[in-house]
Amino acid sequence: MSKAHFGLVGLGVMGENLVLNAERNGFSSVVYNRTYSKTESFLEGKGFGKKIQGAIDLKEFVSKLERPRRILMMIKAGGATDRVIDQISPYLQEGDLLIDGGNSEFRDTERRVAQLESRQFGYIGMGVSGGAKGALEGPSMMPGGTKASYEAIESLVQKMAAQVEDIPCVTYIGPGGSGHFVKTVHNGIEYGIEQILSESYDLMKRVGNMTGNEIADVFCQWNQTEELSSYLVEITEICLRAKDPEDGKDLVEKIIDKAGQKGTGLWTVVSALELGVSVPTIYASLNARVMSSLKKERVEAEKILSSSSSFKFDIGTIENSMAPIQDAVILSCIASYAQGMELLKAASKEYSYNLDMCSIAQIWKGGCIIRSRLLERIQDAFYVDSQLPNLFIDKWFVEQVNRRLPGLVKVVAGASQAGIPVPCFSSTLDYINSYRTSRLPQNLVQAMRDCFGSHTYQRIDKEGTFHTEWIS
Ligand code: 6PG
């Protein structure tokens, strides 16, 4: 039998679908899974009749691949990835290439790229986004590593990726762990948008007393607009319309209000703190998940901490697409992207990733979870100015802020009075208000720091560094 073009380790849902995608695009494949029974059932099921062979162990797996070998690992991030690398590398030869398609921490990828490249193997840390369907039909892919390693997989990933106007949603991201860094930030933005949409649903339900179907109708309207047309808005409508087959009631209302997380949102926020980038909308979405996990405590606290939840305010009507909430959602989604892009720019500088913001916006336009029409505007903004300090000062986005800020203010003020948490909306409002304020009260912070700790300060009217003996 002739040697296969492509190898896959890890037959989870993503792995299965990615290998089917590769095979459909003309890359004969060989698959390996730790438990061979999984390989067998895949080959007898979804992989049946396709140019996909199985391997019982890693030695056989490697021997069935043409050289230089291209091996995609779709396994749990962390120790499992290191173990597979250790187990497979004795069988690899110079020039062979491992691709980690999991959600790995970018520093782990930095280390692995350095280790594997020093042994003359190629190593690519590749963010893959799009969930199971995307993996099968065309995901967005964010590969990082050496340029030479990327070139060895370019023909493969360009065919496998989603295509937007015939442009594949994959590009060389940069060296080291940059691919996984970009995927991490993608997920941070994803956390933000998920929370933003959930806050809008909560207001429509609690303030507007709207049914699931009515709220779904609003999401359907939003999905027709340039500002909000996106995959996450689309699936929100689907989730809200789904019924519990047992009683025909809204399924969403049966789900416990505790959101899980696997780490990428947390890593986004930790990186932002490390790099000194302000990402309050993204942080608020992460914190909202943390708060949601305190279910038992919240149930008890509701009994003793008074709330003013009967307060009603104008959230708009279905006819005007819930205008104030729509404004709040649009500005918060823009903030989520803007903060993510800021973080990418800072990381690019700090880690010498040389990220191309325009290309990143381009490859997020299809296949991935945060795909949206807004990315077209984001791409344009970075095309016009690759060094744009913040998305909010691009002309199109300035107009959005000026038009929609009253709506956001109305929603945050009203929600506060109604006692309804809107962490992403209120963080966004503070972010915009802080960013557009030329004089913040940090002069007083500086005074206090100098007063108790002689930390010194600078003055608006003179050059130099000053200290005052504040307490006589
Ligand atoms: C994707 C997703 C996917 C997953 C994340 C977030 O781009 O396909 O980002 O990778 O949804 O791991 O998951 P959590 O919400 O569980 O952290």
Task: Say if ligand 1 is within 6 A of residue 195 CB.
Answer: no
User: Is the CB of residue 68 below 6 angstroms from any atom belonging to ligand 1?
Assistant: no
Q: 425 burial class (0-12, 13-18, 19+ CB within 10 angstroms)?
A: buried
Rounded CA gap, 407 and 229, in Å?
19
Minimal CA–CA distance to 124: which of 157, 161, 94?
157
Q: Which helix (H) or strand (E) holds 73?
A: strand 70-73
Model pLDDT, residue 186: 98
* Alpha helix stretches (DSSP H) within 258-394: 264-275, 280-292, 295-304, 323-350, 357-363, 374-384
- Cα(168) to ligand 1 centroid in Å equals 21
258 lines ligand 1 (CB under 6 A): no
368 lines ligand 1 (CB under 6 A): yes
Ligand 1 touching residue 130 (CB < 6 A)? yes
What pLDDT does 308 receive?
61
> What is the DSSP pairing of strand 6-9 with strand 140-144?
unpaired
- Out of 190, 199, 237, 342, which one is annotated catalytic? 190
Of 185, 262, 290, the residue with max ligand 1 atoms within 8 A of its CB, to mutate for a pocket test, comes to 262
3-state DSSP: the chain helix, strand, coil percent, rounded to 5?
55, 10, 35
Tell me if 141 sits within 8 A of 126, measured CB to CB.
yes
Q: Atom 9 (ligand 1): residue with closest C-alpha?
A: 187
Q: Is 235 in the pocket of ligand 1 (CB under 6 A)?
A: no
CB-based contact 271:347 (threshold 8 Å): yes
For domain 183-435, the CATH class is mainly alpha
Distance 128 CA to ligand 1 centre (A): 10
133 lines ligand 1 (CB under 6 A): no
d(CA 82, CA 427): 38
User: Which residues, listed in sequence order, are joined to residue 128 by a DSSP beta bridge?
Assistant: 141
Q: How far apart are CA 107 and CA 45, in angstroms?
A: 37
Rounded CA-CA distance 86/8 in Å is 16
Give the fold, CATH level 3, of 6-176: Rossmann fold (3.40.50)
CATH 3.40.50.720 positions along the chain are 6-176
Distance 187 CA to ligand 1 centre (A): 6
197-365-325 Cα angle (round to 5): 20
Is the CB–ligand 1 distance for residue 104 below 6 Å? no
Cα(250) to centroid(ligand 1), Å = 24
Question: What pLDDT shows up at residue 238?
Answer: 98
Check residue 306 and give its pLDDT. Answer: 81
- The answer, yes or no, to whether the previous bond of 280 is cis (omega within 30 of 0) is no
* Block mean pLDDT (10 aa), the chain, length 472: 94 98 98 97 98 98 98 96 97 97 98 96 98 98 98 97 97 98 98 98 97 98 98 98 98 98 97 98 98 97 82 93 98 98 98 98 98 98 96 98 98 96 98 98 98 98 98 92
Instruction: Give the whole-angstrom CA distance, residue 39 versus residue 61.
Output: 12
Angle at the Cα of 62 (from 56 to 64), degrees rounded to 5? 80
| Ligand 1 pocket test, candidate residues 18, 76, 103, most atoms within 8 A of CB | 103
Q: Which two tokens stand for residue 258?
A: 């505790």
Is 249 annotated in the active site? no
The pTM of this model reads: 0.97
Q: Torsion angle, CA of 46/52/56/58, rounded to 10 degrees?
A: -120
Give nearest CA residue, ligand 1 atom 14: 261
Query: What pLDDT is stored for residue 52 in this prediction?
Result: 98
CA of 296 to the centre of ligand 1 (A): 26
CATH 1.10.1040.10 residue window(s) in the chain: 183-435
How crowded is residue 265: how many other Cβ atoms within 10 Å of its Cβ? 26
Neighbours of 50 (CB within 10 A): 14
Kind and range of the H or E run holding 8: strand 6-9
Alpha-carbon distance of 70 to 17, in angstroms, equals 17
Q: Exactly one of 38, 64, 183, 410 is catalytic; which is it?
A: 183
Counting ligand 1 atoms within 8 A of each CB, the residue from 137, 231, 264 with the most, and so the one to mutate, is 264
- Tell me, in angstroms, the distance from the centre of ligand 1 to residue 13's CA: 13
Which helix (H) or strand (E) element contains residue 98? strand 97-100
Query: What are the C-alpha distances in Å from 330 to residues 222, 289, 408?
Result: 10, 21, 9
Assess if CATH 2.30.30.60 describes domain 441-472.
no
Q: What are the E-state strand segments in 136-291?
A: 140-144, 163-164, 167-168
Q: 262 in ligand 1 pocket by Cβ < 6 Å?
A: yes
Asked if residue 348 lies in contact with residue 144, where contact means CB atoms within 8 angstroms, the answer is: no
CA 443 / ligand 1 centre spacing (Å) = 41
Closest C-alpha residue for ligand 1 atom 7: 129
How much distance in Å is there from the Cα of 140 to the middle of ligand 1? 13
183 is catalytic: yes
